[in-house]
Each structure stands twice: as C-alpha cells, then as structure tokens.
Structure 1
C-alpha cells in the first residue's frame, strides 16, 4: 500500500506526521535528545538496521532537525546533532512520554522518569496556554482558521475541540 504524502496539506499535524510518522524517526529523535550523537550509538540503542537508520538520519538532516558534523578526519566520520528545530521537538516527546506513562505503562510503572535539573524534582509534560499559563483542556479549546489555512484557499470554520460535526459548539450555545 502506497503512503499518502501529507506535506502539502494546510494542517500542522498532517505536515508533522508526514515528517515524523514512521515509528523509527521519533525514536531516533528521542535518542538524540538524550545525548546519542554517533551512528553506531543510534544503531546500538535502537537495534535498527543500518540502511533504515541512514535513511532516517538523512531525512532529519534534510528537514533541518539535525546537523551532520564531522568529528574525525581519517577516516571521515560524522555525528548528528540536534538543530534548534530538532530541540524544539522535545516538548512533543515529553508529552508522548506523559501520555504513554498514563495509558500504556505496566504495573511496574514508568520506564523512564524525567527530572527537572533546575529544581531537582521529577516532572512530566503539561501543555499550558502561552498567555495565561492555565493547563489546556480539550473542553476549553476552539480551532480557528489561521492565515495558512486561509491562504491555502480552504474555507475554514471555527470548531470547538471535543465536539462532533453537527453538535453545537460552545460559541453557538452562547448565541441567542
């Protein structure tokens, strides 16, 4: 079955899934976030085939999430370092860890615990409003057409998260 490319869709989730949607790419990024830099280390930590790993690393470099940096001249060898774009993926990984710990951990508990170096406490990802700091809840969200959707020529309408098509939104419920 041929994979449908989503990169041109006017949707940030579709574009991200197009880049990160196979199971190896987020795991390669996870290893990079936690300090793995060299090809052999990625391969050892993940148990991934050399050809698949090379493809994923090349794609991450091509897409600007990682840089390939020489660390040895003879023979020439490279390591892979996260760019700012790649480092910005960390909150996504932290959110996936938190979700997985809540819904997929076994009776033994979380396989990895994140500790905030600044305060020394164990922590987990919390998605919060950038303006007021309140945690984001599905019931409080509304999706509005942004400039990228409007310029794509797609008619955008406001939708309240957590409602099915045809159900009244919070905005409609407040209308006379």
Structure 2
C-alpha cells in the first residue's frame, strides 16, 4: 500500500511555498479517508446555478435555474487543491471545464483524475474504500452530462486546442 501512495505523490506537482501538507501528512489523510464512511466528502448538497449551496433536502428552485446535487469536499481536500494542486475524490460535475483542463499545469488534473479512477478500480476503492457507495456523492447522470457533453463539446471537439496542447507543428 505504501508504494501506491509513494507513486501517487511523485506524480503530483509539489510547491515549496505555503506547504501545510508534507508527503507524510497527505499519506496519513489518504489512509484516514479510506476508513471513513464518507471518505473525502463532507456532506451531500445542492449546488445551484446562481452559486448558492443548499442542503440535500432543499433542492434549487427552477426560478434560479435549478442545480445539481453531489457531495461537498472536506476542508482538507479543498486546502490540498489550493496549496498543493492535489485533487482527491474529484467530482467532475462540480468542475469548470477550463479549470479541469488545467493547461497551465500540463493537464495535471486530468492525469490525477485518471490515476485516481485506476487506483479506485484496483485497490478496493482507494481513498474511497468505505465511501465508494456513499449514496449521492457522485450523480452518474451529472457526471456523464459533464464529461459526455460539456467537456467533450467545449474542449475535445476543438482541433485547435488539441493541436496546440498535444501536437507539434
């Protein structure tokens, strides 16, 4: 198990400024989240189009454009994203397409997402070992809408973007 954590940490960018989280602390957090019923998530909320966040039993009204329901992250997960550019338990539907594309960091978030999905499949859920069935954390229809339509049609359908980022002319 240590080797999986070690390789994971090597793949992520490390910033020397403002580090609250050293590698040992991150490894400890991952181990802790593996054993929590909710894993890296705090609770289920509604995320409304107008930017407001509502409780799970209080849906976003149609008058403000509706919204989507999924888990919110624990504070450590948010801080890791801000301070170390490390995204654990990523929920696609919660992302801005261009933030997830992450061109300034050589598409690190996409790579992290793929690596996490792999670890979840081969290591009993990895960081979500006990929370992999946390009902409502990820809404499959919103994840598919985001990836199958929003991300694909915004970014992957653009030859100019793909040529610029992945091919040399």
TM-score by length of 1: 0.23
Q: Select the structure that is richer in helix.
A: 2
Which of the pair has the greater relative contact order for Cα pairs under 8 Å at 6+ separation?
2
